Amino acid sequence: MPLTNLPIIIIGAGIGGLSAAIRLASAGQRVIVLEANAAVGGKMSEVRAEGFRWDTGPSVITMRHVFDDTFAGRLADYLTLVPVDPLTRYFYPDGTRFDALANREAMTEVLRQFANADDAAGYLKYLDYAKRIHDITGGVFIYNDPPTLWRVARTPLRDMPAVDPLRTMHGAIQSFVKSPKLRQFLGRFATYVGASPYLAPATLNVIADVELSGGVWYPQGGIYAIARAFQRRAEELGVEIRTRCAVRQIDVRDGAVTGVTLADGSQIAAAAVIANVDVATVYDKLLPRAAVKPRRVAQLTSAEPSCSGFILLLGVEGEHPKLAHHNIFFSSDYRREFDDIFARGVPPDDPTIYVSITSKTDRDHAPEGCENWFVLVNTPAVDARFDWATQAAAYRVHVLERLAAYGYDVRGKIRVEKVLTPVDIAGLTGARRGALYGASSNDKFSALRRPHNRARDVRGLYFAGGTTHPGGGVPMVTLSGKVAAQMLLADLPDRAQRG
Ligand SMILES: Cc1cc2nc3c(=O)[nH]c(=O)nc-3n(C[C@H](O)[C@H](O)[C@H](O)COP(=O)(O)OP(=O)(O)OC[C@H]3O[C@@H](n4cnc5c(N)ncnc54)[C@H](O)[C@@H]3O)c2cc1C
């Protein structure tokens, strides 16, 4: 039963917003989702042209259990998640390659042949190490309310070394495998939160456990099927979703949320508000100046962002049987690549290039005899040191040249193409500076510094999405919506009483 007559408003129909809507509506609350764009999904989006179809944002889906939980055990009624095998095909500049497999024994054999028996054994030890981090930190940093120093301090002393917060990811990886190629492969998981393996704390090796042991999943029909499924579930539960409906301001009186003002000036009163918008943008643009402390705004807007991306959606003529669904073409100097991104603030001169081809799995995503390539290069977030308006065309040529050097020269075979720069990502999704995963995870305190799901200074305001706890990535923002909804539900009786 709703505890007040007023609806709960969710600003933004990204995955975090929709996840919160599902949780609140399941608990009997009246929920209205207001989305500025014409369609739901936020960073999860799709594009169609000339018989091709691409997902434009996320492409690798892990943590299947999070989706099972969201659909309360009825996932199969909404989504068909198929395992991706191999997880990813890795290519190196010297012409060697290997397939990463979720099956432990099979993968050990792959690595024994690709590297050597010692590194294959080291890989197994690394997997056990990453799993232990997941087991110890999952409850504190991922699956429950935001971490507090008190809860972190209650981690048994004997477990602390296993959490490994003092080394970098790369520092830890070096202690397990000697092959520079395998170090590059394992370090790559830092990019799943937009970080550098040479800066991010070793605790983030947990990401490798999630993928290499938990597997990668692909929703039949494309990644956007997840957004559609969330929308369907929410609407079945009675959630009202209004698209093309931008919120201009979160209304606040006496330190408490009273509702929202829309771009057209109309107002909607609300019992509470969940913002599925970048938290820094909420403080900087959506909350009335009088309701927030300038110091808090400055703190949020000056945080170092995670990396952004340069994307080519290519409708390619011809088929490439040696490519898999997910492919990585590594750079020759990984450290330099991350220095370019995080220290020099420029897109890497020698980038690692990710190519995802969903038509390998869903044949109808490209016309007969063609493939739909989603090409992604990690870049800095929008930064004065690089002007995408004048340099995107040259960088596109550069990326295509690097692929050609790898033996995949598609320059004469592109039937249709769309280029997305970090500036486009910022414009299309509202991501601050186009950062894919909110604030950077490059330092050991980032998980503790991440904005809380319950606003500290405005009662009745909550946050869900990649810039709040537990962080970015599709499963994580799904969890974030759950945490925000649980907090709101716990507070609601008190708010209803105050009137
Ligand atoms: C290129 C790219 C690749 C990625 N790859 C992966 C991957 O492989 N795997 C993975 O798990 N994750 C990946 N991610 C990250 C993942 O997509 C995000 O973490 C996640 O989708 C963000 O969800 P969110 O809930 O934070 O909402 P967002 O997607 O940020 O959506 C927020 C919504 O709020 C709306 N909004 C903003 N302001 C207003 C307003 N004032 N009024 C109304 N509506 C408003 C926006 O229009 C938007 O729809 C990738 C992201 C990108 C961009």
**CB of 434 shorter than 6 A to ligand 1:** no
CA 252: distance to chain centroid? 30
Shared-domain flag, residues 359 and 469: no
Q: Contact, 326 vs 352, CB < 8 A?
A: no
Does ligand 1 come within 6 angstroms of the Cβ of 279?
Answer: no
Q: How many residues does the chain have?
A: 499
- 295: domain CATH number? 3.50.50.60
User: Which two tokens mark 99?
Assistant: 């397939």
Give 250's Cβ-side CA count (13 Å radius).
34
Check whether residue 179 and residue 112 sit in a common domain: yes
Q: Which of 387, 413, 436 finishes a domain? A: 436
Q: Are 299 and 322 in a shared domain?
A: no
Q: Judge if 398 and 418 occupy the same domain.
A: yes
Ligand 1 and 247: CB distance under 6 A: yes
Q: Looking at ligand 1, which residue's alpha carbon is closest to its atom 50?
A: 58
Separation CA 194–CA 196 (nearest Å): 7
* CA 473 to ligand 1 center in whole angstroms: 8
The answer as to whether 231 is a domain residue is no
Q: Does residue 1 belong to any structural domain of this protein? A: no
Ligand 1, atom 16: closest residue by C-alpha: 473
Tokens standing for residue 419: 């280029």
352: amino acid identity, one letter: T
Contacts of 129 (CB under 8 A, 6+ apart): 162, 164, 172, 176, 205
* Atom number of ligand 1 nearest to Cα 60: 8
Rounded Cα distance, 429 and 425, in Å: 6
Residue 63 · residue 15 · CB < 8 Å:
no
Ligand 1 pocket, residue 276 CB under 6 Å: yes
Cβ 16 under 6 angstroms from ligand 1: yes
Is there a domain that residue 370 lies in? yes
In this structure, the answer to whether residues 201 and 150 fall within a common structural domain is: yes
Closest alpha carbon to 421 in 434, 403, 436, 430: 434
Residues 340 and 297 in one domain: no
Per DSSP, 466 falls in state T
Residue 59: which CATH number?
3.90.660.20
C-alpha to C-alpha distance for 378 and 191, rounded to whole angstroms: 8
**Over 119-160, what HEC string results?**
HHHHHHHHHHHHHHHHHHHHHHHHCCCCCCHHHHHCCCHHHH
pLDDT for 427 equals 93
- Whether 218 is in a domain gets the answer no
Distance 495 CA to ligand 1 centre (A): 29
- Overall number of domains in the chain: 3
From the CB of 479, is ligand 1 less than 6 Å away? no
* CB distance 204 to ligand 1 below 6 Å: no
Taking Cα atoms as reference points, which of 99, 86, 324, 366 lies closest to residue 222?
366
CA of 235 to the centre of ligand 1 (A): 20
C-alpha atoms less than 13 angstroms from C-alpha of 462 in its C-beta half-sphere: 31
What's phi and psi for 192, nearest 5 deg? Answer: -70, -15
| pLDDT at res. 63 | 96
Distance 127 CA to ligand 1 centre (A): 29
Distance CA 38, CA 60 (A): 24
Q: Is the CB of 359 under 6 A from ligand 1?
A: no
Tell me if 35 CB under 6 Å of ligand 1: yes
Within this chain, do residues 129 and 163 fall inside the same structural domain, yes or no? yes
Q: What is the distance in A from the centroid of ligand 1 to the CA of 143?
A: 20
In this structure, are 296 and 311 located in the same domain? Answer: no
Boundaries of domain holding 203: 107-213
Domain-located, residue 148? yes
- Do residues 126 and 205 both lie within one domain? yes
Rounded to 5 degrees, φ, ψ at 384 are -60, -20
Q: How far apart are CA 444 and CA 431, in angstroms?
A: 23
Q: Give the per-residue pLDDT at 18.
A: 98
Is residue 389 within 8 A of residue 427, CB to CB? The reply is no
Per-residue confidence in pLDDT tens, the chain, 499 aa: 555 689 999 999 999 999 999 999 999 999 999 999 999 999 999 999 999 999 999 999 999 999 999 999 999 999 999 999 999 999 999 999 999 999 999 999 999 999 999 999 999 999 999 999 999 988 878 888 887 777 777 777 777 788 888 899 999 999 999 999 999 999 999 999 999 999 999 999 999 999 999 999 999 999 999 999 999 999 999 999 999 999 999 999 999 999 999 999 999 999 999 999 999 999 999 999 999 999 999 999 999 999 999 999 999 999 999 999 999 999 999 999 999 999 999 999 999 999 999 999 999 999 999 999 999 999 999 999 999 999 999 999 999 999 999 999 999 999 999 999 999 999 998 899 999 999 899 988 787 788 999 999 999 999 999 999 999 999 999 999 999 999 999 998 776 666 5
Q: What's the 10 CA to ligand 1 centre distance in angstroms?
A: 14
Q: Which atom of ligand 1 is nearest to the CA of 474?
A: 11
Query: Is 357 within the bounds of a domain?
Result: yes
CB 307 near ligand 1, within 6 Å: no
C-alpha angle 121/127/129, rounded to 5°?
A: 105
CA distance 75 to 323: 30
Check if the beta carbon of residue 330 is closer than 8 Å to that of residue 90.
yes
User: What's the rounded Cα separation, in Å, for the pair 202 and 215?
Assistant: 21
Question: 416: buried, middle or exposed (CB in 10 Å: 19+, 13-18, 0-12)?
Answer: middle
Instruction: Give me ligand 1 centre to Cα 13, in Å.
Output: 9
Q: How far is the CA of 153 from the centre of ligand 1 (A)?
A: 32
Protein residue with its CA nearest to atom 52 in ligand 1: 57
Residue 209 in 3-state DSSP? Answer: helix
Looking at the domain assignment, is residue 270 inside a domain?
Answer: yes
Does 426 lie in the same domain as 312? yes
Establish if 260 belongs to a structural domain: yes
Do 33 and 61 lie in one domain? The reply is: no
Same domain, 359 and 283: no
Of all protein residues, whose CA lies closest to atom 7 belonging to ligand 1?
A: 58
